[in-house]
Amino acid sequence: MKKRRNHQILLLLLVGFSAIFIGAESQTSSSVDAAAMLALKKSLNEPEGWSDSDPCLWKHVGCQDNRVTRIQIGNQNLQGTLPPDLQNLTQLERLEVQGNNLSGSVPSLSGLSSLKVVMLSNNQFSSFPSDFFTGMSFLQSVEIDNNPFSSWEIPESIRNASALQNFSANSANVSGKIPDFLGPDVFPSLNILHLAFNRLEGGLPSSFSGSPIVSLWVNGQTSKLSGRIDVVQNMTSLKEIWLHSNGFTGPLPDFSGLKDLVTLSLRDNSFTGPFPISLVHVGSLKAVNLTNNLLQGPMPDFGPSVSADTKVGLNSFCLPVPGDCDSRVNTLLSIVKSFGYPQKFAENWKGNDPCADWIGITCSGGNITVVNFLKMGIVGTISPEFASLKSLQRLILGDNNLTGSIPEELTTLPALKDLDLSNNQIYGKIPPFRSNVIVNTDGNVDIGKDRSTPPPPGTPNNPDSGNTPVNGGKKSSGSVGVIVFSVIGGVFFIFLISLLVFCLYKKKQKRFSRVQSPNAMVIHPRNSGSDNESVKITVAGSSVSVGAISDTHTIPSSDQGDIQMVEAGNMVISIQVLRNVTNNFSEENILGRGGFGVVYKGELHDGTKIAVKRMESGVITAKGLAEFKSEIAVLTKVRHRHLVALLGYCLDGNERLLVYEYMPQGTLSMHLFSWVEEGLKPLEWTKRVTTKVDVYSFGVILMELITGRRALDESQPEESMHLVTWFKRMLINKDTFPKAIDPTVDVNEETLVSISTIAELAGHCCAREPYQRPDMGHIVNVLSSLVELWKPTDQNTEDIYGIDLDVSLPQALKKWQAYDGRSGMESSSSALLPSLDNTQTSIPTRPFGFAESFASTDGR
């Protein structure tokens, strides 16, 4: 009994000591919290309601068991910094300081395992620690948008926050690539990923497949995200997809699995190929923006319930409204699908008529007869869809990087004569084409081979090479034999190389001699190949070379009057053919007359209609010949669907002829002045032209004034050649915009504000859609305030730099004109104007506010 009593006393003592120890520890923890909160209070301009000595009684602070669990001081107009002492608040669950003016570095909060919500957005924090997320196993939401952090990458430590549901870092200067570990394997609960307006590069990680992300914002990256977006089709929880203003390419994926998709913004990228029709049938969809891409095929029809912006920009839809494309368009798009819808085709193939100057396509009578994709840098495989072009005569796919085998379907083309597959990576057997089809497969090392077949014995790729080790006695003899055989083989190899060079030289001479037939001219193809390809012209009785021809191929003909084929689809045609097709330049064939000469209509034997422009003998002078050559030099370089294509030209004695494609709709004058007599509809251009055109032009002028650059400056790189496009790109980033300002202008903070206002106005004036451009009245209001701000205030002289500030601009102009009219003469009004020798000197040598490098003759 006594022993039991002793045990009870001991137990009571232990319980008492434990209570004392726990109480002491609790008091110590709360005092640590109090010290941390006091440090926070000192680092800020004191928030309202923080005067009590107990932080748990402070306004916007929450506690549990005397431990701080919530700090919610967002949008309180606070200034200051966050102290590192916050790391001691081990029970903190919510830290909300958004919408203030806090600065300095974000302190490391590593080890705060209870933290669930962090809201730091819309402040002036300068850096973000890489170990911030360490130990935050319960973290659910992080918002750090709109902070001028120094460049940083999403740290590896964020893996610790595997319970994360919301990560938002818009306009936070995040750089590098989107990490692979943001996928569902590490973050199975991540619903919101907002990383817009940063400096991210690379593509969307494939690890995003199966992600539960509902809202994905990665738009507006300065460094431009790129690549394809195929992974999106497997992110079936998505409701918002914002990928606009990046550099994404390739075809759009199938969106049919995204049953809850509401908003899709893909504008300002480089997507190609047809729009996936499956997206039209997503019932939850409310808004789509596809502008400024290179999408092809039919324009999607979303119906009235969807706000769709598809009609403007650079897209290459076959029709300006939803509707079916021409069957030839559909066939060609099916063909380039096997190439991955290259951007080159998307940029050039516009409209619903492939015969209207589509690159690589030549037609006759509305039928596609030649497909020439020579040296276009395409990859992929040869599509069996080529077999659908029943009129195809020549298929040229040489000098690309095509793989796979030759489709059997190509053998069914009834008109095919020439198939060039040279210098690719094609393998397998050549299908049995008709005997009259010329098939060129040179430069395909695996042609005729099945890549699944192992290399023959003795090759480096076959371990069973047959070089079995032998005994020592035969080894020496074998070595001597190898040396002798190597010497003989080397001599024989050199002999073969010499023979090959000689044959190629003779063959080249023969090819040139065959092209140089008398009475011939060159017809240029619509689809010019690479820029370094040039043309050889052969004229009556002589040969005139322009550049040089590489790999010229001539189809033999018994009649020199027949059309012959030259490299890249050029046609050689005799002068006699031109006489025949124009009925010897008869009056009945005249289409019109001009200062250069007469234009005749003609039709070649294959049905191709042409317009032959013949120089009058009276203008065959040095000037006339110079004009002729100048027109050739310009038009042979120009290829545009809105310009008549120059097909060729001919020099034959005193004859000077240009051959154009025939335009059946007649001349502009006929539509302007004779449309009633001709039974035509009147033009409706006046109904489309508005004052908004002038507003756009004014915006361009403002851009020229700000930058000191031309609207089109061919001396600049291609990406900055067009002023409007380049200017808008520079305007997006406040850091890069000052670099766009004319270097002759001295820029400080005050002038930069005004210039930025004018720059923003210029951007609105040059909006794509007329209705988005301001009225001139609004423009005047914007500029008037700046006029008052920058109007000179020097009252020491009535006339500053020859300008009377109290006189209106029209009056000042009249004064200048009056003065210029009596240059060199004295006048009673000379006191009003400075005594000058000419008008130019009325411009000050260097106006106020311009850099010292500025001169009065400077066009800027």
Look at residue 363 in the predicted model and tell me its pLDDT: 92
Q: What are phi and psi of 737, to 5 degrees?
A: -60, -45
- Cβ atoms of 98 and 77 closer than 8 Å: no
> Tokens 């002045």 map to which residue?
673
Helix (H, G, I), strand (E, B) or coil at 496: helix
**How many Cβ atoms from other residues are within 10 Å of residue 382's Cβ?**
23
pLDDT, residue 687, reads 57
Out of 3.80.10.10, 3.50.40.10, 1.10.3720.10, 3.40.50.10900, select the CATH number for domain 48-172.
3.80.10.10
Query: Around Cβ 158, how many Cβ atoms within 10 Å?
Result: 22
d(CA 372, CA 676): 43
What pLDDT, on the 0 to 100 scale, is given for residue 313?
60
644 close to 656: Cβ distance less than 8 angstroms? no
CA–CA distance, 459 with 449 (Å, rounded to integer): 15
Closest C-alpha among 653, 675, 651 to residue 665:
675
Output the CA angle 87-88-91, nearest 5 degrees. 100
* Beta carbons within 8 Å of 485's beta carbon, 6+ residues apart: none
Residue of 133, 89, 137 lying closest to 113 (CA atoms): 137
Q: In what order do the strands lie in the sheet with 394-396?
A: 361-364, 367-372, 394-396, 418-420, 438-440
What is the per-residue pLDDT for 462?
43
Which ranges of 766-852 does DSSP label H, i.e. alpha helix?
Answer: 776-790, 809-821
Residue range(s) occupied by CATH 1.10.510.10 in the chain: 689-789
Handedness of CA 738, 743, 746, 751 (dihedral sign): negative
- Alpha-carbon span 614 to 620, nearest angstrom: 11
Strand partners, 67: 64
State the Cα–Cα distance between residues 501 and 323, nearest whole angstrom: 57
Query: For residue 778, what are the β-bridge partners?
Result: none
Quote the Cα angle for 10-13-17, to 5°.
140
Helices (H), 680-722: 692-707
Question: Pairing relation of β-strands 67-72 and 61-64?
Answer: antiparallel
Question: Residue 652, SS3?
Answer: strand
**Nearest Cα residue to 726 out of 740, 715, 743:** 740
The domain defined by 175-324 folds into 3.80.10
Residues 6+ apart with CB under 8 A from 713: 720, 721, 723
Q: Residue 212, class by beta-carbon neighbours within 10 Å (0-12 exposed, 13-18 middle, 19+ buried)?
A: middle
Contact criterion met (CB below 8 Å) for 569 and 525? yes
- In angstroms, the CA 754 to CA 138 distance is 48
Nearest alpha carbon to residue 248 among 271, 272, 217: 271
What was the pLDDT predicted at 609? 84
Nearest of 577, 572, 583 to residue 604 by alpha carbon = 577
Beta-strand relationship, 124-127 and 101-105: parallel
User: What are the φ and ψ backbone dihedral angles of 310, each rounded to 5 degrees?
Assistant: -130, -15
SS3 letters across 19-58: HHHHHHHHHHHHHHHHHHHHHHHHHECCCCCCCCCCHHHC
According to the model, what pLDDT value does residue 202 have? Answer: 95
b/e sequence 402-431, b meaning 16+ C-beta within 10 Å: bbbbbbeebbebeebbbbbbbbbebbeebe
- Closest C-alpha to 798, from 756, 826, 831: 831
Q: What pLDDT is stored for residue 26 in this prediction?
A: 47
Tell whether 613 is in a known binding site. Answer: yes
Q: How far apart are CA 364 and CA 354, in angstroms?
A: 11
Q: Give the pLDDT confidence score for residue 40 in this predicted structure.
A: 92
Distance CA 680, CA 481 (A): 89
CA dihedral of 384, 390, 393, 394, whole degrees rounded to 10: -30
**CATH code at 575-686:** 3.30.200.20
Which residues of the chain does CATH 3.30.200.20 include?
575-686
pLDDT of residue 468: 34
The answer for residues whose C-beta is within 8 angstroms of residue 779's C-beta and 6 or more apart is 695, 698, 761, 765
Structure tokens at 330: 């559909």
Helix (H, G, I), strand (E, B) or coil at 639: coil
| Other residues' Cβ atoms within 10 Å of the Cβ of residue 34 | 16
Listed in order, the ranges of the chain carrying CATH 3.80.10.10 are: 48-172, 175-324, 351-440
- What CA–CA distance (Å, rounded) separates 573 from 565? 9
CATH T-level fold of 351-440: 3.80.10
Q: What is the C-alpha to C-alpha distance for residues 154 and 466, in angstroms, rounded to an integer?
A: 56
Helix (H, G, I), strand (E, B) or coil at 486: helix
Architecture category of domain 689-789 in CATH: Orthogonal Bundle (1.10)
pLDDT along the chain (860 residues), means of 10: 56 50 51 90 88 90 92 92 92 94 93 92 94 91 95 93 94 95 93 96 95 95 94 95 94 92 93 90 90 90 84 76 90 94 89 89 92 93 94 94 94 94 93 92 88 45 39 40 51 61 52 38 42 36 34 37 37 70 87 80 81 72 64 65 74 77 76 72 65 89 91 81 88 83 85 89 88 85 78 51 54 57 42 38 44 47
Contact 36, 90 (CB under 8 A): no
